[in-house]
Amino acid sequence: MQTCTTPFGDLELERYPLTGNPTLQAFDTADTYLLQALSEQPASDLPVLIINDHFGTLACAIAKSNPEHKPHSWNDSELARRALQANLANNQLAPDAVVFIDSQEAPQGPYRQVLIRVPKSLALMEDQLARLHAHLTADATVLAGAMVKHLPHAAGDLLAAHIGPYQASLAVKKARLLSATADASLVPKQTSLTTRYALPGSDVELVNLPGIFSREKLDNGTRALLDTLPTAQGTQLIIDLGCGNGALGIRAAQLNPEAQLLFVDESYAAVASARLNFTSAFPGRTAEFLVSDGLTDVTPASAGLVLCNPPFHQQQAVGDEMAKRLFAQSREALNDEGSLMVVGNRHLGYHVKLRTNFEKVEQLSANPKFVVLKASN
């Protein structure tokens, strides 16, 4: 647990999932800078909207300061939602002290004050701002914050195009804010942020909603795993873990027409994309779609095959903790004869990490950059 001092009082915060790396915090100076700027504004009788709150720092601080007007937290991440719930409890705040709105729902304005953590995906930010515009009051202020090294110039351009004129702050402890004032006369240009490309080896076109992984083109790791997918899985459950647009699960469904499919991701946009793509590819065929923290909500020993191209970062933190968690979860979800098929960069050494949870690890294919492994017991 770490203490975060804010203008609204001290908070006790932790990351979700918990990390063994003591250098990783649940907050940074962009969070405290945003809260400082908000505290300098006149109080509002409308809820504050918080977008892309990483671990609930912003929402917890505002909920603690003004319980009469519950803040709204709009986010694409289920891990962020669970972090928020954990940190509400850590600070003796009720589970419903913050209204959570997932990315596939519309914000419930009007809003006079909006705080945004600038996301890694500018397509996600543009989608959020485009959808936000109609829910702002005429005098609304939108504050966007990020660490300087993660703040692209295009973020300001998006604010100007969808909200109104903005100003950039001075950098404070390597963080910077962009402050935009709503322009009621502004008519944002309507552009489609949905992308499409073909699924290799099939006639399926994959739809990609804003913010999901590899939305411009199929990433090479997934492509390598696609080439090794098995047949003859019968009626077993196949899980596409970290499904993104559902490419792996959809191809596995084509190769195994009797199999059951489950698509899992922590991104609401990813699961929505996978649902759209599976429904289009297999009219009348059923599958399950789950927004979750990996396989924590999956019945143990229920699956015959798990397919995974693991993420190697959470927010801006790069490492293998997320992958190792997914490997352990996969072991719990697989039946005694089941197996995990995983792809990763060669230098990540997944063959060693998999042996923590599995007795057998074999290489199925490799190229100069990626290796595909099969783990079983």
> In 3-state terms, what secondary structure has residue 267?
strand
Residue 121: closest CA among 300, 257, 307, 313: 313
**pLDDT band of 118, cuts 50, 70, 90:** very high
Q: Name the burial class of residue 328, with classes exposed (0-12), middle (13-18) and buried (19+) by CB atoms within 10 angstroms of its CB.
A: middle
- pLDDT confidence of residue 316: 56
| pLDDT value of residue 313 | 55
Q: How far is CA 216 from the centre of its chain?
A: 17
User: Does residue 187 register a pLDDT over 90?
Assistant: no
Average pLDDT over every residue of 78-82: 97
Q: What does the domain layout of the chain look like in residue ranges?
A: 2-181, 195-376
- If you average pLDDT over every residue of the chain, what do you get? 94
Q: Are 329 and 358 in contact (CB under 8 A)?
A: no
pLDDT at residue 312, rounded to an integer: 66
pLDDT at 311 (0 to 100): 85
Percentage above 70 pLDDT, the chain = 98
Question: pLDDT digits over 302-358, tens only?
Answer: 999 999 999 865 555 556 888 999 999 999 999 999 999 999 998 888 999 999 999
As a whole number, mean pLDDT of residues 67-88 equals 96
**How far out from the chain centre does Cα 306 lie?**
20
CATH topology of domain 2-181: Rossmann fold (3.40.50)
List pLDDT tens digits, range 202-249: 999 999 999 999 888 999 999 999 999 999 899 999 999 999 999 999
Q: Is the pLDDT of residue 256 over 90?
A: yes
d(CA 302, CA 259): 13
- Strands 313-314, 303-308: pairing kind: unpaired
What 3 state SS string does 270-325 have? HHHHHHHHHHHHCCCCCCEEEECCCCCCCCCCCEEEEEECCCCEECCEECCHHHHH
How many C-beta atoms lie closer than 10 Å to residue 11's C-beta? 24
**CATH code for the part of the protein at 195-376:** 3.40.50.150
State the greatest distance between any 2 C-alpha atoms of the chain, in Å, as a whole number.
64
Let me know if the fold of 2-181 is the same as that of 195-376.
yes
Q: What is the pLDDT of residue 318?
A: 55
pLDDT tens column, 83-99: 999 999 999 999 999 99
DSSP run (H or E) holding 268: helix 268-281
pLDDT category at 201 given cuts 50, 70, 90 is: confident
Provide the 8-state DSSP code for 170.
P
Q: What whole-number distance in Å separates Cα of residue 178 and Cα of residue 168?
A: 5
Residue 266 has pLDDT above 80, yes or no: yes
This prediction's pTM:
0.95
What is residue 154's predicted lDDT score, i.e. its pLDDT?
95
Q: Whole-angstrom Cα distance, residue 239 to residue 309?
A: 12
